[in-house]
């Protein structure tokens, strides 16, 4: 375990630096070709040059290398990573630290993601197990068709359609029949801060839908494979109950790749949160980026996206370590 | 342990279904009669086992011999009741364990028979053991689920068993995972698992095939010793006629889902009464035949969905005549207790 | 997945461990078998018909609609078709015959907007797919065939790009690029989308490299370039084609997603993503047709490409039979 963890950590650091640099270089390139983004913030207005200069400095975009197309601006990159290490992710348009915005928004996104992960793993694994046990029968075909559907349909389409179906039509039907505020919050078309969990339930289902499909398919394939394996035959020869054979012996092996998948998928969930939070008007980190994109607040996008990438990379590292915990064959390599 | 003790006292965790069964101590330990197993495949129905019969007494070892695909493993799994169905289906026959027909029992009772009364050793221990649980856990599971032992007691039992099958430092190795053991040691773990609940019968399906020759001998000796010590019935399934020679009391040779010859081990080695047995014997490398061409059996075992007419072996048989293509040979009694499914067994015996 | 990460989890992707094995450089029979099998697969036939129709929208929109791309009347905006539930615009009673799918937020005919909207989606998806296939195949073949440090460098760069979640990367660059042209979208999708193709082709090339027919070619003095082009590439073609089919669907979804987020195409361009984005706010206010029709078209198109890829994979994978 120790050696595996160290090796993974050593592989992780260059990828982390590489990805952050890639992000940095591509943003730098776009500034070099597009000109100072600060000027663009004002649109048609002509602010005094001092204001522009002050803002440019505040956003850390005053490096002369930004006027040399192709220059990777290594100095800026080092400074930025240094800032990340100190917990400094830059300032927004009003010169407030972006970290403040993030601390306010993070709990909402955390709740949404948590609900999504619970939803996709519980329903996904369950559907996969049912399909795997009833191979090539009705339940299996149903699961297979519906998973292709949720995997293929873009998440924003799922989002907007869910919003009208559940928020509007079913929502109206519910609102006509119940006094319960929680029920109304569940079927509302947008986030309600009075019901921080209930009003996130449906958005979290939208967010988890794609992964649910992938998880269900993977569980199904792995379970079918596992049920054919020799160790399941041994478990049967041991006179164990069928529930135990499937639930402990087969499933424990299937869940290793499935858990990994759930972990890797955190990147997808963050991108999905951007869309889901945008559609359902949720004041989380994704909603922050969504609104910043629409209003052209580049400093916020530039601060938040690297942070999300950082979270994603660290999550994938943790998942790799978790893999080792789950699979003894790797642990004792 | 005397056989009657085991059979009279229902094991503590036996469900009512099993406890109420009357195991007749005077009946043969395991009596398989006319067992038939079909496989539903895309090409049609494959008759994997076509009426196999044999008897196993306590303290005896029966070797089931044949090429791969002749139905040996299917027979074993049908006795255990662990065939995958579908596609497999037991379509006829009886499996009598001390007089009780296992095929008529309900699933719950059958489940209780497994491991408690019939243990099984599989071929490839690496894939037959679950990779994500420690061997101690996998052994202990039997005691926890069948005997309601606590985790601690179950682990003690696991250590005792590992010690019994000759695994050094059992106390430490009990917490190791299967992949941390060598091939021979893993097979010992498999044997420990089959023995755990003191079954009356052990079925070993190619227990030494995946092992080195030296380790093979150790494992066979271990199996033979344990069997003698506990007065169990042992069914030894193998394609390697050399493996059974030292250990088996009786031999049953199978071909294309049927038994073709049945005899005690000396008689078979002395003079086989079926051309297939003869061919198998000739294909063993022998020191005194050094330098000569090693005989092999021409052709392949038949396709089980379209069996040849008459005697299934006739396309590969050097004694084959017109009659073999038309009449399926019954099991002729060669001498009392010795059977052969060949019209011309006398000719084979004399050759 | 198509919206969040079309490059990481293509559902029908052939895993790199299962290339078309053991066939020599002339593997004509596998294509013939595949064609035979595909022509009898109803899913494939239906999906390819859908794809044909959508492609013809993109190529010849005038064949399908007589209305121009921007021929709209803001006075009749958001009118649902008479057969579809929804509010009608108060105070408007113009003759709506001919608007079978109603009108859009800007008062354009929904049907013709959907027809015109196919072009940017298909153009983006096809160009991006072609370019990712070119980049991915080249890098993958080189990495897999030569191995050694070349492979190490290419694989590490791939890892770094995979560290960037697809949609997040696309959003930040497009937001910064400002010039929201079709070319900006194509550029960003290619820059972020070449990784999975590279990985898969690399795996295939790696497993083909040591096969006998390659050894034989090498023994006969073929140059590396010739071996790659004449022996490795034809055998790696099946997974590449399958992946490309799925990619077209995924990139259509990706383009629509980016446009919906406001970083992709912008009006006066007409595209499905734009129509959906414009319809979203009003759909909740009681005009569901603004969303339902373009969503259905988008979903059916994406699904057709992906199912087509799935069917192709089944047909081209000799092990699957």
More confident residue, A95 or B162: B162
Identify the pLDDT of residue A8.
Answer: 83
Residue of C nearest to A15 (CA): C160
Is the CB of A13 inside 8 Å of chain C's CB atoms? no
Is the CB of B210 inside 8 Å of chain A's CB atoms? no
CA A45, distance to chain mean position in Å, is: 37
Out of C4, C164, C257, the one facing A268 most closely (by C-beta) is C4
Residue B285 sits in the same domain as residue B232: no
Is the CB of A86 inside 8 Å of chain B's CB atoms? no
- Looking at CA atoms only, how far is residue A307 from chain C in angstroms? 11
Is residue B259, in this structure, part of any structural domain at all?
A: no
Optimal mutation site among A21, A152, A292, interface C, most CBs of chain C within 10 A: A152
Reported pTM: 0.84
Handedness of CA A276, A281, A282, A288 (dihedral sign): positive
- The string of pLDDT tens digits covering residues C60-80 is 888 887 777 777 776 666 777
Out of A239, A256, A328, the one facing B111 most closely (by C-beta) is A239
Q: What is the rounded distance in angstroms from the CA atom of residue B107 to the CA atom of residue C109?
A: 66
Tokens in use for C42?
Answer: 């109803």
In sequence order, which residues have a C-beta less than 8 Å from that of residue C234 and are 6 or more positions away? C25, C26, C27
How many domains are contained in chain B? 2
More confident residue, B210 or A26: A26
Is the CB of A153 inside 8 Å of chain C's CB atoms? yes
Give chain C's mean pLDDT. Answer: 80
Identify the pLDDT of residue A47.
Answer: 77
Of the ranges A129-143, B78-92, B204-218, C134-148, the best mean pLDDT one: C134-148
Identify the pLDDT of residue C24.
Answer: 42
Residue B234 sits in the same domain as residue B331: no
- Looking at CA atoms only, how far is residue A223 from chain B in angstroms? 14
Identify the pLDDT of residue C281.
Answer: 77
CB < 8 Å to C8, chain A:
264, 267-268
- The string of pLDDT tens digits covering residues C214-256 is 888 888 888 888 888 888 888 888 889 888 998 999 999 999 9
Is the CB of A7 inside 8 Å of chain B's CB atoms? no
Q: What is the mean pLDDT of residues C190-196?
A: 90
Q: Which domain holds residue B319?
A: 277-351
Is the CB of A255 inside 8 Å of chain C's CB atoms? no
Is the CB of A314 inside 8 Å of chain C's CB atoms? no
More confident residue, A7 or B162: B162
Is residue B46, in this structure, part of any structural domain at all?
A: yes
- Cβ <8 Å between C9 and A294: no
Lowest mean pLDDT among A48-57, A246-255, A307-316, C94-103: C94-103
pLDDT bucket at B178, cuts 50 / 70 / 90: very high
Q: What is the mean pLDDT of residues B108-123?
A: 89
Tokens in use for C29?
Answer: 């029979």
CA A55, distance to chain mean position in Å, is: 31
End-to-end alpha-carbon separation of chain C, Å? 28
Optimal mutation site among B79, B132, B137, B158, interface A, most CBs of chain A within 10 A: B132
Chains A and B lie in contact, requiring 3 or more CB pairs less than 8 Å apart:
yes
Q: How far is CA B65 from CA B236, B244, B256, B312, C171, in A?
A: 8, 8, 12, 16, 68
- Cβ <8 Å between A164 and C291: yes
Is residue B269, in this structure, part of any structural domain at all?
A: no
- Cβ <8 Å between A239 and B122: no
Is the CB of A253 inside 8 Å of chain B's CB atoms? yes
- Looking at CA atoms only, how far is residue B13 from chain A in angstroms? 12
Q: B251: buried, middle or exposed (CB in 10 Å: 19+, 13-18, 0-12)?
A: buried
Is the CB of A67 inside 8 Å of chain C's CB atoms? no
CB < 8 Å to C284, chain A:
163-164, 167-168, 189
Out of C164, C166, C295, the one facing A157 most closely (by C-beta) is C295
- The string of pLDDT tens digits covering residues B45-94 is 888 888 888 889 888 999 998 888 788 889 999 999 888 877 888 888 88
Out of A228, A233, A329, the one facing B131 most closely (by C-beta) is A329
- Cβ <8 Å between A231 and B115: no
Q: Within the 192-251 window of chain A, which residues sit less than 8 Å (CB to CB) from chain B?
A: 228-231, 233-241, 244, 249
Omega before C268 within 30 of 0, i.e. cis: yes
Q: What is the rounded distance in angstroms from the CA atom of residue A155 to the CA atom of residue A149?
A: 11
Residue B26 sits in the same domain as residue B77: yes
Identify the pLDDT of residue C25.
Answer: 41
**Is pLDDT above 80 for A162?**
yes
CATH code for the domain of B79: 3.40.50.300
Contact C255, C160 (CB under 8 A): no
pLDDT bucket at B193, cuts 50 / 70 / 90: very high
- Cβ <8 Å between A154 and C3: yes
Contact A203, A287 (CB under 8 A): no
What single-letter DSSP state applies at residue C81?
A: P
For chain B, give the number of residues. 351
CA A76, distance to chain mean position in Å, is: 28
**Is pLDDT above 60 for A158?**
yes
Out of A213, A293, A313, the one facing C263 most closely (by C-beta) is A293
Q: In what order do the strands lie in the sheet with B233-238?
A: B118-121, B201-205, B233-238, B61-65, B250-255, B258-264, B338-340, B332-335
Helix (H) or strand (E) holding B47: strand B44-56
Is the CB of A315 inside 8 Å of chain C's CB atoms? no
Strand pairing partners for B120? B203
Residue of B nearest to A253 (CA): B132
CATH number of C27-84+96-315: 1.10.3720.10
Identify the pLDDT of residue C21.
Answer: 41
Which CATH code of 1.10.3720.10, 1.10.1060.10, 3.40.50.2000, 3.40.50.11540 fits the domain covering A101-326? Answer: 1.10.3720.10
Is the CB of A311 inside 8 Å of chain C's CB atoms? no
Is residue B338, in this structure, part of any structural domain at all?
A: yes
Q: How far is CA B54 from CA B61, B106, B144, B253, in A?
A: 12, 23, 34, 11
Give chain B's mean pLDDT. Answer: 84
DSSP string, A275-319: HHHHHTT--SHHHHHHHHHHHT-HHHHHHHHHHHHHHHHHHHHHH
Residue of A nearest to C263 (CA): A293
Give chain A's mean pLDDT. Answer: 85
- Cβ <8 Å between A156 and C263: no
Contact C20, C242 (CB under 8 A): no
pLDDT bucket at C97, cuts 50 / 70 / 90: low
Residue finishing a domain among B227, B248, B269: B248
Residue of A nearest to C307 (CA): A148
pLDDT bucket at A27, cuts 50 / 70 / 90: confident
Optimal mutation site among A239, A322, A326, interface B, most CBs of chain B within 10 A: A239
In sequence order, which residues have a C-beta less than 8 Å from that of residue C213 and are 6 or more positions away? C24, C25, C231
Residue of B nearest to A327 (CA): B132
- Cβ <8 Å between A326 and B132: yes
**Is pLDDT above 70 for B252?**
yes
The count of CB pairs under 8 A between chains A and B is 74
Residue B131 sits in the same domain as residue B73: yes
More confident residue, C190 or B313: C190
Chains C and B lie in contact, requiring 3 or more CB pairs less than 8 Å apart:
no
- Cβ <8 Å between A214 and C172: no
Is the CB of B133 inside 8 Å of chain A's CB atoms? yes
Residue of B nearest to A244 (CA): B145
- Cβ <8 Å between C253 and A40: no
Q: SS3 for B341?
A: coil
Residue with tokens 């979270």: A311
More confident residue, C28 or B275: B275
Out of B82, B112, B177, the one facing A237 most closely (by C-beta) is B82
**Is pLDDT above 70 for A97?**
yes
Identify the pLDDT of residue C318.
Answer: 55
What single-letter DSSP state applies at residue C74?
A: G
- The string of pLDDT tens digits covering residues A34-81 is 777 777 667 667 778 887 788 777 777 777 777 777 778 888 888 888
Identify the pLDDT of residue C179.
Answer: 67
- Cβ <8 Å between C276 and A157: yes
- The string of pLDDT tens digits covering residues C284-319 is 777 778 888 889 999 999 999 988 988 888 888 755
CA neighbor of A33 nearest in space, from C262, C163, C183, C260: C183
Residue with tokens 């040691």: B185
CB < 8 Å to A162, chain C:
none
Lowest mean pLDDT among B193-207, B211-225, C7-21: C7-21
pLDDT bucket at B8, cuts 50 / 70 / 90: very low
Residue B61 sits in the same domain as residue B204: yes
**Is pLDDT above 60 for A203?**
yes
pLDDT bucket at C13, cuts 50 / 70 / 90: very low
The radius of gyration of chain B from alpha carbons, rounded to an integer in Å, stands at 21
The radius of gyration of chain C from alpha carbons, rounded to an integer in Å, stands at 23
- Looking at CA atoms only, how far is residue A289 from chain C in angstroms? 9
For chain A, give every domain's residue range. Answer: 2-88, 101-326
- The string of pLDDT tens digits covering residues C123-179 is 999 999 999 999 999 999 999 998 889 999 999 899 889 888 888 888 888 888 766
Which of the other chains make 3 or more beta carbon contacts under 8 angstroms with chain B? Answer: A
- Cβ <8 Å between B130 and A235: yes
Q: What is the rounded distance in angstroms from the CA atom of residue C254 to the CA atom of residue C246?
A: 12
HEC secondary structure over A82-98: HHHHCCCCCECCCCCEH
Contact C175, C21 (CB under 8 A): no
Identify the pLDDT of residue A189.
Answer: 80
CB < 8 Å to B122, chain A:
230, 233-234, 237
Strand pairing partners for B233? B201
pLDDT bucket at A1, cuts 50 / 70 / 90: low
pLDDT bucket at C10, cuts 50 / 70 / 90: very low
Residue of A nearest to C173 (CA): A27
């Amino acid at each position: 375990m120790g050696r595996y963890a160290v090796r993974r950590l050593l592989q992780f650091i260059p990828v982390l630096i590489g990805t952050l640099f890639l992000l940095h270089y591509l943003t730098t390139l776009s500034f070099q070709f597009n000109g100072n983004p600060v000027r663009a913030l004002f649109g048609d207005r002509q602010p005094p040059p001092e204001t522009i200069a002050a803002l440019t400095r505040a956003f850390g975009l005053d490096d002369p290398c930004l006027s040399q197309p192709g220059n990777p601006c290594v100095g800026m990159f080092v400074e930025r990573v240094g800032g990340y290490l100190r917990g400094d992710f830059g300032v927004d348009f009003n010169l407030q630290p972006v970290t403040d915005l993030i601390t306010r928004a993070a709990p909402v996104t955390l709740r949404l993601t948590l609900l999504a992960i619970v939803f996709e793993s519980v329903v996904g694994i369950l559907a996969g197990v049912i399909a795997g046990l009833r191979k090539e029968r009705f339940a299996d075909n149903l699961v297979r068709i519906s998973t292709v559907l949720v995997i293929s349909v873009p998440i924003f389409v799922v989002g907007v359609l869910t919003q009208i179906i559940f928020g509007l039509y079913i929502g109206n039907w519910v609102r006509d029949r119940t006094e319960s505020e929680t029920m109304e919050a569940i079927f509302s078309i947008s986030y309600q801060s009075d019901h921080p969990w209930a009003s996130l339930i449906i958005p979290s289902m939208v967010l988890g839908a794609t992964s649910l499909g992938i998880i269900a398919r993977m569980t199904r394939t792995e379970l079918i494979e596992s049920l054919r394996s020799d160790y399941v035959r041994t478990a049967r020869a041991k006179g164990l109950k069928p529930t135990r054979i499937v639930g402990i012996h087969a499933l424990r092996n299937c869940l290793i790749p499935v858990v990994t998948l759930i972990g890797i998928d955190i990147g997808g969930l963050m991108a999905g949160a951007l869309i889901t939070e945008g559609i359902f008007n949720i004041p989380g980190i994704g909603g922050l980026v969504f609104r910043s994109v629409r209003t052209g607040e580049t400093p916020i996008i530039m601060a938040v996206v690297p942070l999300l990438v950082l979270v994603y990379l660290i999550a994938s590292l943790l998942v790799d370590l978790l893999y080792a915990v789950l699979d003894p064959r790797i642990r004792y390599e | 342990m005397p056989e009657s003790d085991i059979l009279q006292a229902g094991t503590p965790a036996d469900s009512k279904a099993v406890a109420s069964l009357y195991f007749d101590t005077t009946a043969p330990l395991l009596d398989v009669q006319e067992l038939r197993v079909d496989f539903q495949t895309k090409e049609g129905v494959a008759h994997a086992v076509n009426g196999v019969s044999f008897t196993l007494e306590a303290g005896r070892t029966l070797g089931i011999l044949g090429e791969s695909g002749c139905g040996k493993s299917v027979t074993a799994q049908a006795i255990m009741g662990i065939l995958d169905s579908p596609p497999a289906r037991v379509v006829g026959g009886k499996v009598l364990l001390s007089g009780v027909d296992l095929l008529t029992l309900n699933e719950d009772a059958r489940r209780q028979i497994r491991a408690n009364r019939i243990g099984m050793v599989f071929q490839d221990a690496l894939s037959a053991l679950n990779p994500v649980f420690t061997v101690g856990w996998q052994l202990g599971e039997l005691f926890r689920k069948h005997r309601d032992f606590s985790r601690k007691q179950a682990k003690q039992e696991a250590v005792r068993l590992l010690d019994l099958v000759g695994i050094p430092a059992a106390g430490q190795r009990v917490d190791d995972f299967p992949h941390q053991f060598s091939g021979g040691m893993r097979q010992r773990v498999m044997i420990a698992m089959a023995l755990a609940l003191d079954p009356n019968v052990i079925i070993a399906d190619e227990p030494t095939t995946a092992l080195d020759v030296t380790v093979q001998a150790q494992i066979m000796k271990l199996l033979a010793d344990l069997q003698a010590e506990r007065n169990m019935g042992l069914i030894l399934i193998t394609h390697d006629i050399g493996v059974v020679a030292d250990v088996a009391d009786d031999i049953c040779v199978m071909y294309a889902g049927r038994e073709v010859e049945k005899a005690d081990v000396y008689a078979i080695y002395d003079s086989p009464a079926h051309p297939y047995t003869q061919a198998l014997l000739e294909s063993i490398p022998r020191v005194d035949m050094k330098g000569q061409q090693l005989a092999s059996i021409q052709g392949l075992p038949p396709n089980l969905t379209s069996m040849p007419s008459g005697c299934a072996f006739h396309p590969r048989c050097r004694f084959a005549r017109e009659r073999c293509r038309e009449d399926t040979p019954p099991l002729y009694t060669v001498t009392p207790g010795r059977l052969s499914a060949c019209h011309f067994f006398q000719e084979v015996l004399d050759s | 997945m198509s919206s969040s990460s079309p490059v990481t989890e293509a559902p029908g992707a052939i895993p790199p461990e299962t290339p078309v094995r053991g066939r020599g450089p002339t593997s004509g029979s596998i294509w013939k078998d595949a064609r035979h099998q595909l022509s009898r697969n109803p899913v494939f036939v239906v999906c390819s018909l859908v794809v044909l129709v959508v492609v013809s929208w993109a190529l010849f929109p005038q064949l399908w609609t007589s209305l121009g791309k921007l021929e709209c009347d803001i006075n009749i905006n958001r009118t649902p078709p008479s057969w579809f539930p929804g509010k009608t615009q108060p105070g408007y009673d113009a003759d709506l015959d001919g608007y079978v799918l109603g009108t859009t937020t800007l008062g354009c005919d929904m049907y013709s907007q959907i027809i015109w909207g196919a072009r940017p989606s298909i153009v983006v998806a096809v160009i991006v797919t072609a370019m990712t296939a070119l980049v991915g195949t080249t890098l993958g073949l080189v990495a897999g065939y030569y191995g050694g440090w070349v492979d190490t460098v290419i694989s590490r760069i791939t890892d770094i790009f995979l560290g960037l979640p697809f949609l997040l990367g696309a959003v930040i660059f497009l937001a910064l690029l400002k010039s929201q042209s079709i070319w900006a979208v194509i550029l960003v999708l290619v820059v972020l989308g070449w990784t999975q193709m590279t990985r898969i082709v690399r795996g295939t090339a790696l497993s083909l490299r040591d096969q006998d027919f390659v050894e034989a070619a090498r023994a006969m003095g073929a140059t590396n370039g010739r071996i790659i082009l004449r022996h490795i590439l034809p055998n790696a073609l099946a997974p590449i084609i399958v992946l490309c089919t799925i990619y077209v669907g995924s990139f259509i979804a990706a383009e629509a997603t980016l446009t919906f987020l406001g970083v992709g195409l912008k009006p006066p361009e007409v595209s499905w993503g734009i129509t959906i984005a414009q319809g979203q706010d009003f759909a909740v206010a009681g005009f569901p047709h603004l969303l339902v029709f373009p969503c259905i078209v988008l979903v059916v198109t994406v699904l057709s490409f992906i199912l087509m890829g799935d069917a192709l994979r089944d047909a081209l994978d000799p092990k699957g039979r």
